[in-house]
């Protein structure tokens, strides 16, 4: 029931990290991929991985904060069965030092672009009468953390949006869910996980005793995208090693 043969999946933030892992995992489950990222070189590398698994890959280099471009891409696709919104960012800093430029940048990337991308996909999926949308949230969408006031704000917004969109789209056969990982070793997290004290602090906070891996998250995404989750919508799958259970 986790097979996705014959389905078309669009993944944003597909060039590196969790987005790349999700794209490859979806291909292994049988989906053909539309890959979105700002870096053409990264996209070509991922496209090769997808094609090596016998699936089609269409790399599209664009900035997801460009609303017109993402709407046009979604509109021109021949079909869209699965959307995975992985593009996002973080600028860790004390609350009192957050600049309006950083605030605006993260709100645009982590909230507005997510809304616009989902809205565009929903228009296609509602007409088709089916579809699965998976948003990359975070454990920080369920709790708070010092130095991450803006990131927590944006991920709590994603969690609320997931629920509202799920309720509105459910009558049309479209499911909307989120995955909420703990700290996962990716290019985005590498700078602060390189600090030995911070890394040790994070591991101490995770009851299962290890950091997340990309494949931990991509497995959850494939599940939510597939018919194995046919009765799952409006939920957030915490992949946090027990962090939020404390």
The pLDDT tens digits for 115-166 are: 999 999 999 999 999 999 999 999 999 999 999 999 999 999 999 999 999 9
**CATH number, domain 8-184+213-238, options 3.40.1190.20, 3.40.50.720, 3.40.1110.10, 3.20.20.80:** 3.40.50.720
Which of 68, 155, 163, 203 is catalytic? The answer is 155
Question: Quick one: pLDDT at residue 188?
Answer: 81
Residue 68 bears catalytic tag: no
Q: How many CB atoms lie within 10 A of CB 10?
A: 29
Helices (H), the chain: 17-28, 40-52, 67-76, 100-107, 113-128, 149-169, 190-193, 196-205, 214-225
Annotated domain spans of the chain: 8-184+213-238
Q: Measure the CA dihedral 191/237/220/146, to 10°.
A: 0
User: Distance between CA atoms of 102 and 116, rounded to whole angstroms?
Assistant: 20
Query: Which residue numbers in the chain have pLDDT < 50?
Result: none
User: Distance between CA atoms of 138 and 212, rounded to whole angstroms?
Assistant: 12
Which of 68, 127, 151, 163 is catalytic? The answer is 151
Question: Quick one: pLDDT at residue 190?
Answer: 85
User: Distance between CA atoms of 61 and 211, rounded to whole angstroms?
Assistant: 30
User: Distance between CA atoms of 153 and 170, rounded to whole angstroms?
Assistant: 26
Phi, psi of 225 (to 5 degrees): -75, -20
Residue 203 bears catalytic tag: no
Question: Quick one: pLDDT at residue 224?
Answer: 98
Question: Quick one: pLDDT at residue 10?
Answer: 98
């Amino acid at each position: 029931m986790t097979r996705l043969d014959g389905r078309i999946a669009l993944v944003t933030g597909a060039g590196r990290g969790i987005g790349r892992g999700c794209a490859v995992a979806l291909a292994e489950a049988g989906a053909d991929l539309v890959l979105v990222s700002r870096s053409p070189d990264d996209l070509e590398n991922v496209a090769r991985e997808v094609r090596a698994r016998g699936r089609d890959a269409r790399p599209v280099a664009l900035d997801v904060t460009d609303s017109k471009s993402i709407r046009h891409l979604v509109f021109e696709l021949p079909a869209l069965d699965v959307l995975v919104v992985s593009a996002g960012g973080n600028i860790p800093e004390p609350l009192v030092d957050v600049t309006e430029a950083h605030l605006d940048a993260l709100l645009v990337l982590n909230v507005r672009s997510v809304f616009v991308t989902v809205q565009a996909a929903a228009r296609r999926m509602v007409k088709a009468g089916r579809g699965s949308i998976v948003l990359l949230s975070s454990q920080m969408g369920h709790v708070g953390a010092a130095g991450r006031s803006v990131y927590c704000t944006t991920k709590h917004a994603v969690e609320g949006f997931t629920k509202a969109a799920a309720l509105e789209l459910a009558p049309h056969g479209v499911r909307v869910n989120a995955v909420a990982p703990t700290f996962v070793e990716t290019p985005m997290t590498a700078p602060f996980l390189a600090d030995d004290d911070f890394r040790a602090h994070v591991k101490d906070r995770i009851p299962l005793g290890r950091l997340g891996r990309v494949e931990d998250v991509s497995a959850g995404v494939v599940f939510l995208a597939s018919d194995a989750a046919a009765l799952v919508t409006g939920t957030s799958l915490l992949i946090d090693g027990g962090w939020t259970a404390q």
